[in-house]
Structure formats: C-alpha cells, structure tokens
Amino acid sequence: MYLRGIRGATTVEQNNADEILAATSELLQAIVEANDFHPEDIGSVFITVTEDITATFPARAIRTLIGWELVPLMCSLEVPVENALPKCIRLMVQVNTTKTQAEINHVYLKEAKALRPDIVKLTNEATR
C-alpha cells in the first residue's frame, strides 16, 4: 500500500459561496470517480484557492458529503503569482492505494485544464 497524491483543479466564474461549494464538490466527485476510492482510503485533503476566492471555505462542500465527515481537510491560499489563473480551486487528495503513480488519474476541470494540458490529454486518452 502506498500514499499517493491526486491533483485536481477547477475554476469558478464568481466569488460566490454557492458556486465555490458546487465547483469543489464537482471536482472531488470527478477525482473519486476517476480513481475509484472511498473516503476511508483518504489520509487527508489539502485545498488551496487563489486570493480572489473569499466567499466561503471550499472544505465546507467536502464536509457535507456522506462518509467524508472525519477526513482531515485543510484550506490555504495559493501562492499569488503574477498572471496566474484566477478564481482557481486546487485539491491535493492523499489516498492510500495499491495503484502505481502511472495509474493515478489527476483531474482538471473548466479553465483549470490550461494548467496541465499534458495531464488532461493523458486522462482523456485513458478514458477512451
């Protein structure tokens, strides 16, 4: 068994609590589906947001999901780099698994696809 990190990112159009929560839930669900794991497999989830996301904590969305109540969550600000993708939510899900690094599927949604087009291409090819 290994501890593997699964990356994911998405964006919101507005700094709105409902949109932030919905986008976070959508991203986590996509990561879970792409990698076939359960909450009890999770060591922790690190969540970062760009400094223009202030309406709510994205962790609130995860905390409401059945089975995720006890998973350790941590929110933080992303490093404010000039010209970085705005209104971006990133997840680093640390999962206990027997999968190899090559078998892990990282997920990028919406405008965040531009962050790692190489991974988006690989994921799209793997799901065909």
60 is in an annotated binding site: no
pLDDT in tens, 91-103: 999 999 999 999 9
Annotated binding residue 108: yes
Q: How many residues does the chain have?
A: 128
Report the pLDDT value the prediction gives residue 128, as an integer from 0 to 100. Answer: 45
Q: Where are the domains of the chain?
A: 2-127
| 90 annotated as ligand-binding | yes
CB proximity list for 21: less than 8 A, separation 6 or greater: 56, 58, 60, 61
Comparing 106 with 119, the larger pLDDT belongs to 106
The amino acid present at 69, given as its one-letter code, is E
**Would you tell me which CATH number, out of the four given (1.10.10.10, 2.60.260.20, 3.50.50.60, 3.30.1330.40), belongs to the domain 2-127?**
3.30.1330.40
pLDDT in tens, 30-80: 999 999 999 999 999 999 999 999 999 999 999 999 999 999 999 999 999
Q: Is 27 helix (H, G, I), strand (E, B) or coil?
A: helix
Q: What amino acid positions are annotated as catalytic residues?
A: 7, 63, 75, 78, 90, 108, 116
pTM of the predicted structure, to 2 decimals: 0.91
- Pairing of β 42-49 and β 73-77: parallel
